[in-house]
Chains A and B, each alone.
Chain A
Amino acid sequence: MKITVAEALIKALEFEGVEVMFGHPGGAILPAYDPLYDSPIRHILARHEQGAGHMAEGYAQATGRVGVAIATSGPGATNLVTSLANAYMDSTPMVAITGQVPTTAIGNDAFQEAHTWGISMPATKHNYLVTDPEDIPDVIHEAFHLARSGRPGPVLVDLPKNILNSEIEWHEPTGRVDLPGYKPNTKGHPLQIRAAVDLILEAERPVLYAGGGIIAAGAHAELLELAEKANLPVTTTLMARGAFPDTHPLSLGMPGMHGTYAAITAMQKADLLIAVGTRFDDRVTGDPDAFAPHAKVIHADIDPSEIGKIRVAEVPIVGDARIVLEQLNRKIDKTLDGAAAPDHAAWLETIGDWQRDKVVHYEQDPAGPIKPQFVVEELYRITGGEAVVVAGVGQHQMWASQLWKYTKPRTWLNSGGLGTMGYAIPAAIGAKLGLPDQLIYAIDGDGCFQMTQQELTTASTEGIPIKIAVLNNNNLGMVRQWQRLFYNERFSATELTDHTPDFVKLAEAMGCVGLRAEHPSEVGPVIEKSLTINDRPVVVEFRVDPDEMVFPMVPAGGSNDVVAMSREDLE
């Protein structure tokens, strides 16, 4: 049966099990939108392609499935690039489909032509420009295989309009992939596993340093087993919040620039770091030459290029986090042979002292203003922690990470590596489509909100009842914090206009419910009210104190030996 490449594309997407895709049509991609009209695949019409991309990411982060975004050539594709770069940094499985000008016009500066393949190359795990119509079923299958396997990431498929319109004989993808250079190693080498277990059982001050790879690999149960079996304190990076329960006695919370004192200091004093699915990001290590100076390192990652990139590993292990942790657990069982593992009592006691003594306080004056930390704690209390939290980037993101006790994977979604302001609203929409029965609560800042707010129209018109708490401090809070601390309080270009826009009216104009709290006593009730509205998206504006700062803090590039618990510590 002869069908067009556009029809084959949609069939191939259906074949991959795609249930929803996020996009925006335009000239070059029009042929693909025609068969989509008859397809069971739901299409969400984003108001901006960047939003479509982040929706695909939010869907993928929440479900573990591949998120799909679709856009036209030129500006459609370039608008997608931020989401591709974001997904690449955070290892989020995503496939982007873009239209392209006809092959006969490529290179001629045609209308809406951009060199999408070249632009997206450094922002994707792999990308394709399809020039042979017969390739389409297998290219789509390959794209999904690459996006979800190994270290997950975004893959882009660029489709010229004349290719989309040409006819081919439909055949289902064979399921085979012809990628002779792509064979991710998933199982750790037995000798390395043995060497790692020897180090784990010898260590006196070990720290288990868990990254986003734990969540990508679904390795949270194996992580918990290892921690409990060998009495290892666990720190979860910004990408791994929820990979290990914050409520567990062995939990240290988040490491790094705004991590807990206990997590940062335990790594500095450790004699062994067991790093799994993590990449020694500069926001974790601070000055890498001063990071964890006494520690030997076991580094397990599916991506060999992450091992040794920043820090030499005494025991490098290339493999999938779940499989490697399972290997470690079995090897420890075998080595101990019924004997007790070291209890690390003195070490855990020292850590316990830090956890008790070195905490950041804030005071909520009943007379106001509302403290942003109070809003996060009230959200946690009132929802019972039973929500998927989605954050933008900045102060609100750090408070949402610090003050919420995450106990399950995929309940904390954010832009970690790229730090993309505006991630929250579209990512929450994608998450809600993936998990329709879940409460999705975005915690956003007023700066971030204004970068992608148009997607609230998408949410209301498509009937996607997400909730967004806007911590409105009328400022670009994190930038302002740095200006306060390091630029003599010269607040250059960080003040957003005083209460403009009116977030409540703006929400209502976009078909959402708008609520507001201006006084501490209104915080609880307005959150309660937001939870009763489930037929529309809800935006809750909290007018918060603009002078609050995020602590603990290790200044950028500084040594993690010096953790500021308050502003006084930096003076």
Chain B
Amino acid sequence: MRGALMTLHVLSVLVEDKPGVLARVSSMFARRGFNIHSLAVGPAAEPGNSIMTVVVNAGEIEQVVKQLRKLINTIKITELDPVGSVEREVMLVRVSADASKRGELLDAAGVFKAKAVDVGATSVTFEMTGTPSKVNDFLELMRPYGLIDVVKSGWIALARDSKTRNLRAIS
């Protein structure tokens, strides 16, 4: 039970949209000593419910799932594996750039399909959407130029259509 290698697990958690549900989830994680890597929450398809995408850094995910399941307002939990799901993250990053560096930065951003959303005298702000690892790669690429501000949405994820899962036509 103990000593298993720590890895990131992505949980898609359907919960009732009631006041305090987020507090219940985060309080449970704190109390049980589980590590949240990222957490994003928003309304689910059916009204009255929310979907949380929780990324957990844990050796064994079974206890985390069971303890989440035990919360009265939790309806359903799905563990998403990277192959069978689509994972995305949004990042806004402001990079230090005077006029001499601006072209170089915009070129690099073009490769990553990052969008310049604010250009100032001393900095450029990019919006980047992609898989969490892609987003990270772009962030590392920007780092040497001097990061002024970074903000990330946290992971969001959805299972792929089970019927087309093997086709992987759309990424």
Residues of A within 8 A of B (CB): 117-118, 121-122, 125-126, 129, 131, 146, 179-182, 303-305, 308-312
Contacts and interface: CB of A to CB of B under 8 A. Distances in A.
Interface stretch (B4-12, B14-22, B106-114): B14-22
A180 B75 CA distance: 6
Contacts of B16: 180-181
Given A129-B19, A181-B15, A181-B16, A304 B72 contact: no
B102 interface: no
Given A117-B20, A308-B1, A181 B27 contact: no
Interface in B1-54: 1, 15-16, 19-20, 23-24, 27-28, 31
Given A308-B1, A308-B62, A309-B66, 18 more contacts: A118-B23, A121-B20, A121-B27, A122-B28, A122-B31, A125-B72, A126-B72, A129-B20, A131-B19, A181-B75, A182-B72, A305-B63, A305-B66, A305-B70, A308-B66, A309-B63, A310-B1, A312-B1
Contacts of A125: 72
Given A117-B20, A305-B67, A308-B62, A122 B74 contact: no
B67 A181 contact: no
Nearest to A304: B66
Contact of B69 (A122, A129, A180, A305): A305
A243 B25 CA distance: 35
B149 to A, nearest CB: 30
Nearest to B74: A181
A303 B27 contact: no
Given A180-B16, A303-B70, A121 B75 contact: no
B123 interface: no
Interface in B56-87: 62-63, 66-67, 69-76
Interface range, B side:
20 to 34
Q: Is the interface of A mostly helix, strand, loop or mixed?
A: loop
A180 to B, nearest CB: 5
A279 to B, nearest CB: 13
A64 to B, nearest CB: 22
Given A305-B69, A308-B1, A309-B63, A121 B74 contact: no
A308 B71 contact: no
Given A118-B23, A121-B27, A181-B16, A308 B63 contact: yes
A143 to B, nearest CB: 11
12 contacts: A121-B23, A121-B24, A121-B27, A129-B20, A180-B16, A181-B15, A181-B72, A181-B75, A181-B76, A305-B66, A308-B63, A311-B1
B76 to A, nearest CB: 8
Contacts of A122: 27-28, 31
Contacts of A182: 72
A311 B71 CA distance: 22
Contacts of A180: 16, 75
A207 to B, nearest CB: 21
B26 to A, nearest CB: 10
Contact of A179 (B20, B31, B72): B72
Nearest to B62: A308
Contacts of A131: 19
Contacts of A311: 1
Give the 9 A-B CB pairs with smallest separation, nearest first. Answer: A305-B66, A181-B75, A126-B72, A181-B74, A122-B31, A182-B72, A180-B75, A305-B70, A304-B66
Contacts of B27: 118, 121-122
A180 B19 CA distance: 16
A311 B75 CA distance: 27
Contacts of A146: 72
A332 B86 CA distance: 48
Interface string B90-113: 000000000000000000000000
Contacts of A309: 1, 63, 66
Contacts of B73: 181
B25 to A, nearest CB: 11
A77 to B, nearest CB: 16
B75 to A, nearest CB: 4
Contacts of B24: 121
B53 to A, nearest CB: 18
Nearest to A180: B75
Nearest to A142: B72
User: For B31, B70, B73, B74, which residue has the most chain A Cβ atoms within 10 angstroms?
Assistant: B70
B19 to A, nearest CB: 7
A308 B28 CA distance: 18
Nearest to B15: A181
Contacts of B76: 181
Nearest to B28: A122
Contacts of B15: 181
Given A129-B19, A180-B16, A181-B15, A304 B69 contact: yes
A118 B22 CA distance: 12
A99 B71 CA distance: 24
Contacts of B20: 117, 121, 129
Nearest to B71: A181
A455 to B, nearest CB: 30
Nearest to A303: B70
B31 to A, nearest CB: 5
B52 to A, nearest CB: 13
A181 B19 CA distance: 16
A197 B31 CA distance: 37
Contacts of B74: 181
A220 B72 CA distance: 29
A131 B18 CA distance: 12
Contacts of B69: 304-305
Nearest to B66: A305
A122 B1 CA distance: 24
A52 B69 CA distance: 31
Contacts of A305: 63, 66-67, 69-70
Contacts of B72: 125-126, 146, 179, 181-182
Nearest to A181: B75
A182 B74 CA distance: 8
User: For B20, B23, B67, B74, which residue has the most chain A Cβ atoms within 10 angstroms?
Assistant: B20
